[in-house]
Chains A and B, each alone.
Chain A
Amino acid sequence: MSSSTATHTYTPKTRVGKVTDYVDSRVGGSGIVKEFGRKIFPDHWTFMFGEVALYTFVILLISGTFLTFFYDPSMAETHYEGSYLPLRGVEMSVAYASSLDISFDIRGGLFMRQIHHWAALLFVASVAVHMLRVFFTGAFRRPREFNWVVGCVLLILSLAAGFTGYSLPDDLLSGNGLRIIDGVMKAIPVVGTYLSFFLFGGEFPGTMIIGRLYVLHILLIPAVILLMIGIHLFMVVLHKHSQFPGPGRTNTNVVGYPVGPVYAAKAGGFFFIVFGVLAAIAAAFTINPIWNYGPYDPSPVSAGTQPDWYIGWVDGALRLMPGTIGDNFDFEFMIPFPWGVNALSLNVLIPALVPAIIVFTAMFLWPWIEAWVTKDKREHHLLNRPRNAPTRTAIGVAGITFYCVMWAAASSDLIATHFLVSLNDVLYWLRFLVIFGPILAFMVSRRISLALQRKDREIALHGRETGRIVRLPHGEFIEVHEQVDDYKRYKLTAFESPEVMVPTPDENGKIGLVDKVHGRVSRFFFEDRVAPVTPKELAASHGDHHGEIAGTKDRESIASH
C-alpha cells in the first residue's frame, strides 16, 4: 500500500521499460493502463457524433488560442490602415480592425478564422445530432439520466459559446445581432432595461460589450464546457457505453473492440479526419467575410442576412409572431400601475422565450417523463431501434419539425426572393406550420415507425424476398422467400413492446386522478403497438406457409430448380 516503504523488486530491461517504470512508480500508471488499456467500447456509426463534438471542441481550442494572440477586444475608435484597400481610412473599432488584420495581414490568419468559425458551426451541430441519437435510441434511460442532463447543459453552453464568439469581430452583421439581443432583453418585464444597461455598460452599443463577451467567450464558457465534458466522459466510463441489441449483446455485457489498439486507433484517427475535413472546408468555402459587412454602425443594415444556423430558430420565432392582429389589437400591453404605466411587449417576449422554454424544459425532463409513463425503473444498457419506440420517435420528430419550421422562418425573406413568392404568404404558411406541422409530423412518423415494425415482423416470420419468381405446376406464380438466419432474426425480434397500463382501483374501488391521467397517457403511448415475433408464432406460421403456398410435391419441384 504505502509506496514510501515499498522496496523496488522490479528492474526494467528496456529503455521504454525504464521510462514507464520511472513514471509508474511515482504516479501509478499501471492501474490506469490495467483499467483502460483493454476496456471494451461498442462500435456503431451513430456513436460517432459525440466524438465529432469532442474533436471540434479541441480544434476550437487550438484555432481560438491562435486568434487570441492577434485579436484586440477594444471598442476604441481607430482608422483602418491595413491591407484591405476598400476600408482604408474608415473609422471603426479596434476589435474590427484587428479582425481585419487577422484576415489580411497575418499569414494563415484568415485560415484560422475560417476553421474556427466552421468548427464552431460543426460543434453545435454535432452536439445537437449526438443528442438526437441519444434521444431516439433511448440512451437517456436509467442509469444515464444525469449524463443526459449534462449533455443538455453542454448544448446550451455550446450555443452561448457560439453567440459570444459571433459578435467579437464587431462587424455590421453581428452588431445588428447584438441590437436584436438588446431589444429582446429590454422587453423583459421589470428588470429588462437594467439588464441591458448592465450588459452593455450603459446605452446600446456602448464601449464595453465586446470586451465582456470576449472574457465570456475565451475564459468562462470554455472552462465550464471543459468541466462538463470531463463529467460527461467520466460518466460514460462509469456506465460503460450502451450498445444496440443484437446477437451476443445483452443488457449485462459490452461487445466491441478493446481500446488498445483498435478503438484507440479508430477514434484517434477520426480526430485527424475531422480536423482534415474542417481544414478542407475552411480552405474552400468562405465563412463570415466581415470585410464585406463593414464596421458596426446603428444606421445601415443589409437585407437577406442570416444569423449563424443555431441562432436561426430564435430569430425565426421572432419573425413568426404577429405584432398586431387586425386594426385595433396589438401585443404591446400598456399596464396601468399606481406609479404609472408600464409596457409589456408580448410580441417580443412570447417568441423569444416560449419556444426555448418548451424545447429545453422538455429536453431536460424527458428521461423522467418517459420513466413515469412506462413505470420502467430498470437499468437499460441496450438501445432501442427508433422504430421500436414509435411514440417516442414521433415526439422527437414533432420536436424537430417545430424547431425546423422556426429555423426556416429565419430565412423567410430569402425563401420569398429565391422562389419568387410573396414574403407575406411565406410567413402565413410558416405560422400555420409551426402549430400544425409538429402534429402532422407526429402522426406520420408514428405510422412510419409502426409500418417498419410490421415489415420487421414480416421478415422475421416469412423471410426475405428473394426476387425469384417460380411457376408452380398448376400454373400459380409465387415469389420464393428465404428464411433469415438466427442472428438476423434475433436482431429483428430482440425488443420489448410495452403494453397499455390500465389504472387499477385501490382498495376502496377508486381510481386516483394521477392514475387516471397515467392510464390515458399510457394508452396514448402504447395503444398502437407491434409485438415482436415469438418462436411460437414462427413455428405456427411455417405450418401455414407451406400448406398455403405449395404442396409437398410443389416444394420438391421448387427445390430442384
Chain B
Amino acid sequence: MADSSHGAPGTSVTVAAPGAELDEFQNPGLPPHRPRLADRDPKAEKRAERQVALLFAISVVGTLLFFVGYFFIPLDQTIERLRLQNLMLGLGTAFAMLGIGVGIVHWAKTLMPDHEVTESRHEVRSEQDRQDAEKIVNDILEESGIKRRPLIRNTLLGAAILAPLPAIAIFRDLGPLPGNTLKQTMWDTGVRLTRDPSGTPIRASDVTVGSAFHVIPEGLNEVENKLEEKAKAVVLLMRLDPEELNPSPGRENWGYDGIVAYSKICTHVGCPVALYEQQTHHLLCPCHQSTFDLEQECKVIFGPAARPLPQLPIEIDDEGYLVASSDFQEPVGPSFWERG
C-alpha cells in the first residue's frame, strides 16, 4: 500500500540546528512529497485503474437491482413483501451511489496528482478600496440630500416604520380569539360517561374496584369539532375502596361509592395521563412522568406538573348510569395566562 503520510521515514534531524537562539521554531516548509505506489509502479497504476472501473461497474449492478425490486416485486398487502421491496430499492440505490462515490474518491486518491499546492491569501479588502468605497457612500448620501433635508428624512422614517404594520395585522385572522373556550368542556349536568372510543354508557356496577376506564362524554362522536372537544373532555374513571379516598371538604359527593373521575389531560403540557398504577393508585403521564396521587385528589407527587388533575363531579342517573354532576370546576389541561 502506498503510504501517503508526509516526511521521509526515519529522518532524525540533528538537534543543534542553527536558530537555537530563536523563540520559536522556523516553519520548515512543506515536507518532501512521497510518491504513491501507483506513481512509481505502472502495474499498481493499472490495478488502481481496474479497481475504479470495477467500482463503477458495481454501481451499474446497483441500478439494475433497483429496477428488479421496482418492477418484479409486486406489493401484495403483506409487510414482508413491502420490506423486501424496500430493501432491494434501498440496497440498489446504495450500491449505485456508493459505486460511483467510492470509485471517484479512489480514482482521486490513487491516480490524480497528490501534490499539495500553496496559494497565498489576499486581504479581505484593500485600504484603497475602503477609501474609495467610503468616498462613494459619502457622495451618494450627499447627492441624495438625505442629511441636508431632515423633513424628508423624518417623514420617510415615520412612513417606513408604519408601512410594515399591515403585514403583521393581516395575520390576525389566523385564528379566533380564545374567548371562554378553554374554560368549558362538553361535560354538563346529566351528561353520561361513556367508553372511549365506542361511546357506550357505563353503569356504576360495571366499574369494579381496581378497574379503570377511559371515558368520553356521551355524544362526543357526533359533534362537528370532535377532536377539539375530545382534547378537553377525556376523563379517567377509577374505582377505589372508598376508605382510600380522602376528599376535601366540599368534594365529598363528587364521586360515587369509591368511583372517581379525573381529567385525563395533564396539567403540565397536555399529554394524556394514560398510565394507572393500580397498586399505588398513582396516575403517570408517559410524556414527562408527572405523577398524580388518587388518594390525595390527584395531587402532584413527582415530575414537572404543578397542579392536580381537575376532578369531574359525577353521580348516577335513574337507570344506574354514571353521569356528570356538572362541568369541571376549573379549566382542564395545560396552564395558560388567563386561567386564573
Measured CB to CB, the residues of A under 8 A from B are 38-40, 83-85, 103-105, 107-108, 110-111, 114-115, 143, 176, 179-180, 182-184, 186-194, 196-206, 208, 238-240, 247-258, 261-262, 265-266, 268-277, 279-280, 282-284, 296-305, 315, 318-324, 330-332, 334-335, 340-345, 347-348, 351, 379, 381, 412-413, 423-424, 427, 482-483, 485-490, 493-494, 532-536, 538-539, 542
- Contacts A83-B75, A323-B268 given: A423-B22 contact, CB under 8 Å? no
* CB–CB B89/A275 < 8 A: no
Among B155-163, B238-246, B297-305, the stretch in contact with A = B297-305
Chain A min CB distance to B145 (Å): 32
* CB–CB A194/B177 < 8 A: yes
Q: In this assembly, does B313 line the interface, its C-beta being within 8 Å of a C-beta of chain A?
A: no
- Contacts A105-B75, A199-B174, A536-B21 given: A348-B335 contact, CB under 8 Å? yes
Residues of A within 8 A of B102 (CB): 269, 272-273, 276
6 further A-B pairs in the complex, CB-CB below 8 A; given A199-B174, A254-B120, A413-B286: A186-B334, A198-B175, A271-B101, A276-B98, A324-B300, A342-B337
Instruction: Give the complex CA separation of A119 and B178 in angstroms.
Output: 38
- Contacts A493-B24, A539-B16 given: A323-B306 contact, CB under 8 Å? yes
CB within 8 A of A282: which of B90, B288, B304?
A: B90
Residues of B within 8 A of A257 (CB): 114, 116-117
Q: In this assembly, does B205 line the interface, its C-beta being within 8 Å of a C-beta of chain A?
A: no
Residues of B within 8 A of A335 (CB): 340
Instruction: Give the complex CA separation of A110 and B287 in angstroms.
Output: 28
* CB–CB A255/B171 < 8 A: no
- Contacts A183-B269, A262-B114 given: A280-B91 contact, CB under 8 Å? yes
* CB–CB A186/B336 < 8 A: yes
* CB–CB B86/A193 < 8 A: no
* CB–CB B104/A269 < 8 A: yes
* CB–CB A299/B234 < 8 A: yes
- Contacts A176-B287, A332-B307 given: A279-B97 contact, CB under 8 Å? yes
Instruction: Give the complex CA separation of A345 and B108 in angstroms.
Output: 59
CB within 8 A of B289: which of A198, A319, A485, A487?
A: A319
Instruction: Give the complex CA separation of A535 and B22 in angstroms.
Output: 6
Residues of A within 8 A of B86 (CB): 110-111, 114, 282-283
Instruction: Give the complex CA separation of A245 and B174 in angstroms.
Output: 55
Residues of B within 8 A of A196 (CB): 336
* CB–CB A280/B90 < 8 A: yes
Measured CB to CB, the residues of B under 8 A from A are 6-8, 11-13, 15-17, 19-25, 27-31, 70, 75, 77, 82, 85-91, 93-105, 107-109, 112-114, 116-121, 124, 171, 174-178, 181-182, 196-197, 214, 216, 225, 227-228, 230-232, 234, 264-266, 268-272, 274-275, 286-290, 300, 302-307, 333-340
Q: Could you pull out 10 A-B pairs where Cβ atoms are within 8 angstroms?
A: A203-B231, A238-B124, A269-B103, A272-B97, A305-B286, A322-B303, A347-B306, A485-B11, A535-B19, A538-B15
Instruction: Give the complex CA separation of A557 and B13 in angstroms.
Output: 21
* CB–CB A111/B90 < 8 A: yes
- Contacts A208-B175, A276-B95, A483-B13 given: A255-B20 contact, CB under 8 Å? no
Residues of A within 8 A of B20 (CB): 535-536, 538-539
Instruction: Give the complex CA separation of A347 and B304 in angstroms.
Output: 6
Residues of A within 8 A of B232 (CB): 203
* CB–CB A180/B340 < 8 A: no
* CB–CB B175/A199 < 8 A: yes
Chain B min CB distance to A492 (Å): 9
Instruction: Give the complex CA separation of A493 and B85 in angstroms.
Output: 56
Instruction: Give the complex CA separation of A340 and B94 in angstroms.
Output: 63
- Contacts A189-B337, A276-B98, A538-B20 given: A298-B288 contact, CB under 8 Å? no
* CB–CB B13/A486 < 8 A: yes
B70, closest chain A residue (CB) = A107
* CB–CB A275/B101 < 8 A: yes
**A-B residue pair count with CB separations less than 8 angstroms:** 378
Chain A min CB distance to B118 (Å): 5
Residues of B within 8 A of A342 (CB): 337-340
Residues of B within 8 A of A542 (CB): 15-16
Instruction: Give the complex CA separation of A506 and B100 in angstroms.
Output: 66
- Contacts A203-B182, A535-B20 given: A330-B307 contact, CB under 8 Å? yes
Residues of B within 8 A of A301 (CB): 271-272, 274, 286-287
Cβ-closest 7 pairs across A and B: A283-B90, A183-B269, A272-B101, A341-B340, A269-B104, A276-B98, A248-B30
* CB–CB B306/A483 < 8 A: no
Instruction: Give the complex CA separation of A143 and B122 in angstroms.
Output: 12
Residues of B within 8 A of A202 (CB): 175-176, 228
* CB–CB B231/A298 < 8 A: yes
| Interface class of chain B by DSSP | loop
* CB–CB B271/A180 < 8 A: yes
- Contacts A262-B108, A536-B21, A539-B20 given: A40-B118 contact, CB under 8 Å? yes
Chain A min CB distance to B200 (Å): 15
Instruction: Give the complex CA separation of A350 and B115 in angstroms.
Output: 55
* CB–CB B171/A198 < 8 A: yes
* CB–CB B105/A412 < 8 A: no
Instruction: Give the complex CA separation of A203 and B231 in angstroms.
Output: 9
- Contacts A83-B75, A197-B178 given: A303-B119 contact, CB under 8 Å? no
Instruction: Give the complex CA separation of A180 and B285 in angstroms.
Output: 12
Residues of B within 8 A of A298 (CB): 227, 230-231, 234, 265, 272
CB within 8 A of A279: which of B90, B264, B271?
A: B90
* CB–CB A347/B268 < 8 A: yes
* CB–CB B118/A248 < 8 A: yes
* CB–CB A332/B118 < 8 A: no
CB within 8 A of A193: which of B31, B118, B178, B303?
A: B178
* CB–CB A254/B264 < 8 A: no
* CB–CB B124/A203 < 8 A: no
Instruction: Give the complex CA separation of A345 and B118 in angstroms.
Output: 59
* CB–CB B75/A266 < 8 A: no
- Contacts A193-B178, A297-B230 given: A381-B70 contact, CB under 8 Å? no
CB within 8 A of B105: which of A238, A239, A265?
A: A265
Chain B min CB distance to A461 (Å): 10
Chain B min CB distance to A456 (Å): 13
Chain B min CB distance to A292 (Å): 11
Residues of A within 8 A of B7 (CB): 485, 487-488
Instruction: Give the complex CA separation of A381 and B232 in angstroms.
Output: 58
* CB–CB B336/A266 < 8 A: no
* CB–CB B227/A261 < 8 A: no
Residues of A within 8 A of B108 (CB): 261-262, 265-266, 269
Chain B min CB distance to A446 (Å): 24
